[in-house]
Structure 1
């Protein structure tokens, strides 16, 4: 029998529609390259490489959709292509949200500073507002 998760255990993942959009973009890119093919193998090769990169990016979202998880013992962050790294609360120095305005748009990034490493998460990594996630992390942290 599995233990019941703690009421403060939560996780954040990429939106379900994001991998589908990336795969659709890869297919559209290849289709466009084939449609506009002028016999240039370099053009088709570049389109194939770009489509493969998009498909790989989508595969990461499907294989490891959870980017951040929290429980009373610490946080677990995505690492590499599909790995995870466990950070006990004692390793977490700061949890902040960086807001930047560019070209009339404001972006927010959740930053988890673990001393020797800095972990960054945007809205599309979390499928939530980074400020709300930061607040949930602070609430889950033991005092």
Structure 2
């Protein structure tokens, strides 16, 4: 394949943060509805809602989870940081498939020697297999 001239990105689907925020609001509403004077129930619902809201904020602040360009791969690191993995550090790009409870889950694994980066379908907005094929095709021939 010819060298890539542009950056290709995979991001969280735009509906996912909205669903997480709606879930947080629902948790608070259920906490208020079923608290029945018990502050512990309300606090538990509030903490769960806050965690879900923080997770949604991460999706809004850093929606791009993975990008590829001629220099290598850029992956998300921490809450919203970025890390460039030069092609020379990328040892393997694989898709791990596991079956559990009758459902098959796929995870894209990028092995960069001392670090392993994992991405699911909802991190990428595409199937891990599609992304793995695109990344392998984008990798410069050594």
Give the TM interval when normalised to the shorter protein.
over 0.9
TM-score w.r.t. structure 2 length? 0.95
Q: Does 1:67 align with 2:74?
A: no
Q: Which residue of 2 aligns with 1:98?
A: 96
Give unmatched runs, 5+ long, in structure 1: none
TM-score w.r.t. structure 1 length? 0.95
Residue of 25, 29, 32 corresponding to 2:30:
32
* Distance across 1 between alignment mates of 2:93 and 2:37: 53
The count of aligned residue pairs is: 138
Give 1:51-90 correspondences, 5 Å limit: 51-90=49-88
Residue of 126, 129, 132 corresponding to 1:131:
129
- Structure 1 runs (4+) deviating above 6 angstroms are none
1:97: how far off?
A: 0.2
Classify the secondary structure of the residue corresponding to 1:142: coil
* Distance across 1 between alignment mates of 2:74 and 2:16: 21
Q: Which residue of 1 aligns with 2:5?
A: 6
* Distance across 2 between alignment mates of 1:133 and 1:36: 43
* Distance across 1 between alignment mates of 2:116 and 2:35: 44
> RMSD of the alignment, in Å?
0.9
